[in-house]
Chain A
Amino acid sequence: MKNRLVWLQGVTCNGNSHSFLNLPTLSSFLQTFEILYHPLLPSLLTLEQLPDANPDILVVEGGLRRGWPKADTDLFDLFMVLAQRAKRVVVVGSCAVYGGIFKEYDQEITGVLFDKEKKSKLYDQFSHKTINIPGCPANPEWIAFGLESDTMHLDDLHRPKELFAVTVHSGCTRNEYFEWKVDAKGFGLKEGCLFYEQGCQGPYTHGSCNTILWNEINSKTRSGTPCFGCTEPTFPQKDLFKTKTYMGIPAKMPLGVPKRAYLTITGVAKSFFIPRLNKRLIDED
Chain B
Amino acid sequence: MKIDLLEKIEGEAYLEFKTDGDEIVDVRVLFPHFRGVENILVGKDAWDALVINPRVCGICGHAHLQATASLLESIYRIEITQKAQLIREITRFCEIIQNHLKWCYLVIFQELQIPYDFTTMHQTIALVNKLLALFSGQWPHSAYAIPGGVTCDPTALDIVKAKQIRAQIQSNIFKLFGSFEDPKKLEKDLKKLYETLHAKDLLSVGIGLNRFITLSQDSYVENVKILNKKKRKTKLRYIKEIGQSDSYAKNVTYNNRFYETGPLARLLQNPDFFIRYFYRKYKDSIFTRIIARIYEINILIKKIEHHLNSIDLNQLSVVEIEKKDGEGAISIEAARGSLVHKAIIAEGKIENYSIITPTQWNLSNGSSDNPSSIQKAIIGLQDRKIANLIFRSFDICSVCTTH
Assess the A14–B10 pair: CB atoms within 8 A. Answer: yes
Assess the B136–A40 pair: CB atoms within 8 A. Answer: no
List of B residues within 8 angstroms of A32 by Cβ: none
List of B residues within 8 angstroms of A215 by Cβ: 126, 129-130, 132-134, 138-139
Closest to A101 in B: B55
Assess the A17–B51 pair: CB atoms within 8 A. Answer: no
Flag whether A256 is at the interface (Cβ < 8 A): no
Flag whether A266 is at the interface (Cβ < 8 A): no
B residues within 8 Å of A by Cβ?
5, 7-8, 10-12, 32-33, 35-37, 39-40, 44-45, 47-48, 50-52, 55-59, 61, 102, 106, 110, 118-119, 122-123, 125-126, 129-130, 132-144, 146, 148-153, 155, 316-318, 399
List of A residues within 8 angstroms of B7 by Cβ: 39, 46-47, 71
Assess the B58–A17 pair: CB atoms within 8 A. Answer: yes
Partner of B143, one of A9, A222, A228: A228
A40 to B8 alpha-carbon distance, docked (Å): 6
Assess the B151–A217 pair: CB atoms within 8 A. Answer: no
Assess the A223–B135 pair: CB atoms within 8 A. Answer: yes
List of A residues within 8 angstroms of B152 by Cβ: 188, 223-224
Assess the B139–A14 pair: CB atoms within 8 A. Answer: no
Partner of A218, one of B11, B133, B146: B133
Assess the A14–B126 pair: CB atoms within 8 A. Answer: no
| A218 touching B106 in the complex, CB below 8 Å, given contacts A39-B7, A190-B153, A225-B151 | no
Q: A190-B155, A218-B138, A238-B45 are in contact. List 13 more A-B contacts (CB 8 A).
A: A13-B35, A21-B102, A26-B122, A101-B52, A105-B36, A136-B55, A187-B318, A188-B148, A217-B130, A217-B134, A218-B137, A223-B142, A236-B52
Rounded to whole Å, the gap between the CB of A6 and the closest CB of chain B is: 14
The size of the chain A interface, using a CB distance under 8 A, is 61
26-82 of chain A: CB within 8 A of chain B: 26-27, 39-42, 46-48, 68-71
List of A residues within 8 angstroms of B61 by Cβ: 13, 15
Flag whether A267 is at the interface (Cβ < 8 A): no
Flag whether A124 is at the interface (Cβ < 8 A): no
Partner of B317, one of A68, A188, A242: A188
List of A residues within 8 angstroms of B140 by Cβ: 15, 18-19, 137
Flag whether A240 is at the interface (Cβ < 8 A): yes
Flag whether A220 is at the interface (Cβ < 8 A): yes
Rounded to whole Å, the gap between the CB of B35 and the closest CB of chain A is: 5
Assess the A14–B58 pair: CB atoms within 8 A. Answer: yes
Assess the A187–B126 pair: CB atoms within 8 A. Answer: no
List of A residues within 8 angstroms of B52 by Cβ: 101, 236
| A48 touching B151 in the complex, CB below 8 Å, given contacts A26-B122, A241-B146 | no
Most chain B CB within a 10 A radius of its CB, from A24, A27, A71: A27
Assess the B151–A187 pair: CB atoms within 8 A. Answer: yes
Partner of A188, one of B138, B141, B151: B151
List of B residues within 8 angstroms of A41 by Cβ: 106
List of A residues within 8 angstroms of B55 by Cβ: 13, 15, 101-102, 136
A213 to B36 alpha-carbon distance, docked (Å): 31
Assess the A13–B56 pair: CB atoms within 8 A. Answer: yes
Flag whether A265 is at the interface (Cβ < 8 A): no
| Chain A positions 150 through 173: 1 when the CB is less than 8 Å from some CB of chain B, otherwise 0 | 000000000000000000000000
Assess the B133–A217 pair: CB atoms within 8 A. Answer: yes
| A187 touching B148 in the complex, CB below 8 Å, given contacts A41-B106, A101-B52 | yes
A17 to B102 alpha-carbon distance, docked (Å): 12
Assess the A214–B137 pair: CB atoms within 8 A. Answer: yes
Which 5 interchain pairs have the tightest Cβ spacing? Answer: A105-B36, A188-B317, A224-B151, A14-B58, A223-B137
| A21 touching B316 in the complex, CB below 8 Å, given contacts A14-B399, A102-B36, A240-B47 | no
20 A/B residue pairs, CB under 8 Å, sorted by A: A11-B33, A22-B129, A27-B122, A40-B106, A47-B12, A68-B33, A71-B12, A102-B37, A105-B39, A137-B140, A137-B141, A209-B138, A214-B139, A217-B130, A217-B134, A223-B152, A224-B137, A224-B317, A225-B137, A228-B143
List of B residues within 8 angstroms of A283 by Cβ: none
Rounded to whole Å, the gap between the CB of B262 and the closest CB of chain A is: 19
Rounded to whole Å, the gap between the CB of B295 and the closest CB of chain A is: 23
Partner of B122, one of A21, A47, A214: A21
Flag whether A285 is at the interface (Cβ < 8 A): no
A209 to B59 alpha-carbon distance, docked (Å): 20
Flag whether A12 is at the interface (Cβ < 8 A): yes
Partner of A27, one of B106, B119, B148: B119
Assess the A220–B138 pair: CB atoms within 8 A. Answer: yes
List of B residues within 8 angstroms of A40 by Cβ: 8, 102, 106
Flag whether A219 is at the interface (Cβ < 8 A): yes
A13 to B139 alpha-carbon distance, docked (Å): 14
| A18 touching B143 in the complex, CB below 8 Å, given contacts A218-B138, A223-B135 | no
A186 to B8 alpha-carbon distance, docked (Å): 42
Rounded to whole Å, the gap between the CB of B182 and the closest CB of chain A is: 32
Flag whether A16 is at the interface (Cβ < 8 A): yes
| A47 touching B48 in the complex, CB below 8 Å, given contacts A223-B152, A224-B151 | no
Rounded to whole Å, the gap between the CB of A146 and the closest CB of chain B is: 18
Assess the B106–A188 pair: CB atoms within 8 A. Answer: no
Rounded to whole Å, the gap between the CB of A32 and the closest CB of chain B is: 15
Most chain B CB within a 10 A radius of its CB, from A14, A101, A102, A222: A14
List of B residues within 8 angstroms of A47 by Cβ: 5, 7, 12
Rounded to whole Å, the gap between the CB of A179 and the closest CB of chain B is: 20
A39 to B12 alpha-carbon distance, docked (Å): 10
| A18 touching B137 in the complex, CB below 8 Å, given contacts A24-B126, A238-B45 | no
Rounded to whole Å, the gap between the CB of A149 and the closest CB of chain B is: 22
A182 to B316 alpha-carbon distance, docked (Å): 20
Closest to B109 in A: A42
List of A residues within 8 angstroms of B118 by Cβ: 27
A70 to B146 alpha-carbon distance, docked (Å): 36
Rounded to whole Å, the gap between the CB of A45 and the closest CB of chain B is: 11
Assess the A225–B143 pair: CB atoms within 8 A. Answer: yes
A217 to B123 alpha-carbon distance, docked (Å): 15
